Chain A
Amino acid sequence: DAGVIQSPRHEVTEMGQEVTLRCKPISGHDYLFWYRQTMMRGLELLIYFNNNVPIDDSGMPEDRFSAKMPNASFSTLKIQPSEPRDSAVYFCASSLGWGNTEAFFGQGTRLTVV
């Protein structure tokens, strides 16, 4: 398996534009997580899914953020409209089963909003 695949690796966009980040989890993993990483706040959990169903989105900072998982092999995180303070590295991770401590992370998407 190629691991968790995220795209794009880098994204530079202007303030006010819509940004869509994409993730393909490891096949067979039941859980998918979206994290945001900044120097100030570290790794923050934004939302996670179990079997394609959003379980906890309490970490999503604002209504400008939304996430979907239309099937077991694809998820998106959308920011609309984007703001400079959204600049961060966004990670997608997947794990197998309830209570599993080993999450497999993608390479991340570095988002810069100017």
Chain B
Amino acid sequence: GESVGLHLPTLSVQEGDNSIINCAYSNSASDYFIWYKQESGKGPQFIIDIRSNMDKRQGQRVTVLLNKTVKHLSLQIAATQPGDSAVYFCAENGENSGYALNFGKGTSLLVTP
């Protein structure tokens, strides 16, 4: 069935380096792709979204890239900080799902000093 998945379950980066978290999706009818961050013991928190008719969107220290040809989504975090350590989820929604968020499995990002 339609799903959102991730390439890697864990990623370890050094403080100050850039991080890239990848996600594959299968639902071509999605309207939006979204990244959420979940810190230990907390609920997921919205980071950034991108509409399906765009290929790049930048936020504060984060950039999301969308490649619809290969159905791939990535989140780039510049100058990764210890506070960025968390689990990152990609998600999608669209009119066909009533705009309910459909989440992938998550990637754990560990920032080492």
**Shortest 7 CB-CB contacts between residues of A and residues of B:** A105-B43, A43-B103, A101-B49, A102-B46, A42-B105, A101-B34, A101-B32
A93 at the A/B interface (Cβ < 8 Å)? yes
| Chain A residues, CB < 8 A from B45 | 105
| Chain A residues, CB < 8 A from B49 | 101-102
CA distance A45 to B93 in the complex (A): 12
A41 CB, nearest partner CB in chain B, Å: 8
| Chain B residues, CB < 8 A from A12 | none
A 36-61 to B, binary, CB cutoff 8 A, 1 in contact else 0? 00000011010010000001100000
Interface residues of B (CB under 8 A from A): 31-32, 34, 41-46, 49, 89, 93, 95, 98-106
Interface size on A, residues (CB 8 A): 23
Chain A residue at minimum C-beta to C-beta distance from B46: A102
CA distance A91 to B100 in the complex (A): 14
Chain A residue at minimum C-beta to C-beta distance from B44: A105
| Chain A residues, CB < 8 A from B95 | 99
| Chain A residues, CB < 8 A from B41 | 107
Task: Tell whether, in the assembled complex, residue A45 and residue B31 are in contact, meaning their CB atoms are under 8 Å apart.
Answer: no
- Given known pairs A43-B44, A103-B46, A105-B45, the reply for A56 and B98 (CB within 8 Å) is yes
